[in-house]
């Protein structure tokens, strides 16, 4: 039987494995520190664990760490895009976004994505598999190591629908949040969903104050259905209710992502629907002029339309901003990630 991958375990799983080896409780923190605080690539490096335990762990578990296949650095703004090879040969991308003393890592939660959004390169390529908790968290460790600093923020906005891989994403966020892990504040850890309602409900009930972003892209059901076919299962009316409940339970604000596409979701009727959707909800709208992806004819809204949306939202008392494009020269902007880099 092949050894289990230690990266498949959440914190409880690690604690149980150590307990079954007769180890005291404090070993869990030590192991988490090695795996997610320091990014160990071998059990042998874990010098404060007894040698016999290191051997025992190495016999039971494989320990994979993402291997760098390709790194691109934006000449425009220092954004770095990475293609990693995982333990089984699958590849995923992550992005590192430096800004002053901050480093935000945009991580993937799945290899590919099944949601099939029309404007997204990941969605066009289809779904391969879920990432393991450790494979999600390791992207942050690996990117921070490359920058020679610690990550201050992480956003699950790379490839994949995080709530289609809820348990692994949450387990990873807990490793990233943990003092003995990456030590990133819960509010600085953001999960972005295409609107998977059961995931939104579960997140509302978690004890941590993780930040929620929702890819809205249209508040008109028929438009949203055609742009985001995978999200049809969760209609806008129910989504609106689930978000109101989320705000009520957590007291936290929701961020909406709205990729503005010329003639598709940037009309006056779309704007009015968006205003109605946001009315009375504690939210922030992030307007993203859509980025080009290969094989898609969708074009960016004009500057005037983007400004019209921003102004109308703000005038109605809805917080709104236009997302600054980063890493476009290396195809690292929103929606441009793919599981393979075509050389």
Helices (H), the chain: 11-20, 26-32, 51-60, 121-125, 133-147, 166-177, 197-205, 221-227, 236-250, 268-278, 303-315
Catalytic residue among 23, 93, 135, 270: 93
Told to check if 331 binds ligand SAH by CB under 6 A, we report: no
Residue 2 DSSP code:
P
Among 43, 65, 119, 210, binds ligand SAH (CB under 6 A): 119
Among 35, 142, 293, 320, binds ligand SAH (CB under 6 A): 293
List Cβ neighbours of 38 (8 Å cut-off, separation of 6 or more).
45
Among 64, 74, 94, 215, binds ligand SAH (CB under 6 A): 215
Told to check if 330 binds ligand SAH by CB under 6 A, we report: no
Told to check if 320 binds ligand SAH by CB under 6 A, we report: no
Active site residue 334: yes
Total residues at the site for ligand SF4 (CB under 6 A)? 12
Q: Distance from first CA to last CA of the chain, Å, rounded?
A: 37
Using an 8 Å Cβ cutoff, are 206 and 171 in contact? no
Among 23, 93, 138, 161, binds ligand SF4 (CB under 6 A): 161
Q: Bridge partners of 254?
A: 212, 283
Q: Which does 111 bind (CB under 5 to 8 A by kind): ligand SF4, ligand SAH, none?
A: none
Q: Bridge partners of 259?
A: 288
Return the biggest CA–CA distance within the chain: 68
Q: Minimum distance from CB of 79 to ligand SAH (Å)?
A: 15
Footprint of ligand SF4 on 206-235 (CB under 6 A): 215
Told to check if 180 binds ligand SF4 by CB under 6 A, we report: no
Q: Which is nearer to ligand SF4, 72 or 194 (CB)?
A: 194
Cα of 112 vs its chain's centroid, Å: 13
Task: Please give the residue ranges that form the binding site for ligand SF4 (CB under 6 A).
Answer: 113, 115-117, 120, 122-123, 159-161, 194, 215
């Amino acid at each position: 039987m092949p050894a289990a991958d230690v990266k498949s375990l959440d914190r409880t799983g690690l604690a149980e494995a150590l307990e079954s080896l007769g180890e005291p409780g404090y070993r869990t923190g030590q192991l988490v520190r090695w795996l997610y605080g320091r990014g160990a690539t071998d059990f042998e490096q874990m010098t404060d664990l007894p040698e016999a335990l290191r051997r025992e762990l190495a016999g039971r578990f494989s320990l994979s760490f993402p291997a760098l296949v390709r790194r691109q650095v934006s000449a425009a703004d220092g954004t770095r895009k990475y293609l990693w090879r995982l333990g089984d040969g699958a590849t995923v991308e992550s992005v590192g976004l430096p800004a002053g003393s901050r480093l935000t890592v945009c991580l993937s939660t799945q290899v590919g994505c099944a949601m099939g959004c029309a404007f997204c390169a990941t969605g066009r390529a289809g779904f391969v598999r879920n990432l393991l908790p450790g494979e999600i968290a390791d992207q942050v460790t690996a990117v921070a190591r490359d920058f020679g600093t610690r990550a201050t923020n992480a956003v699950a906005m790379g490839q994949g629908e995080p709530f289609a891989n809820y348990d692994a994403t949450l387990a990873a966020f807990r490793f990233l949040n943990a003092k003995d892990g990456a030590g990133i504040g819960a509010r600085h850890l953001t999960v972005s969903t295409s609107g998977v309602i059961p995931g939104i409900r579960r997140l509302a009930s978690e004890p941590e104050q993780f930040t929620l972003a929702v890819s809205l892209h249209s508040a008109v059901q028929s438009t949203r259905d055609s742009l985001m076919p995978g999200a049809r299962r969760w209609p806008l009316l129910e989504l609106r209710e689930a978000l109101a409940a989320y705000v009520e339970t957590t007291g936290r604000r929701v961020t909406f992502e709205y990729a503005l596409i010329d003639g598709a979701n940037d009309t006056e009727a779309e704007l009015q629907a968006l205003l109605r959707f946001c009315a009375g909800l504690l939210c922030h709208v992030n307007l993203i002029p859509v980025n080009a992806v290969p094989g898609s004819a969708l074009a960016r809204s004009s500057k005037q339309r983007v400004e019209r949306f921003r102004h109308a939202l703000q005038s109605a008392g809805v917080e709104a901003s236009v997302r600054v494009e980063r890493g476009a020269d290396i195809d690292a902007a929103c929606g441009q990630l793919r599981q393979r880099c075509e050389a």
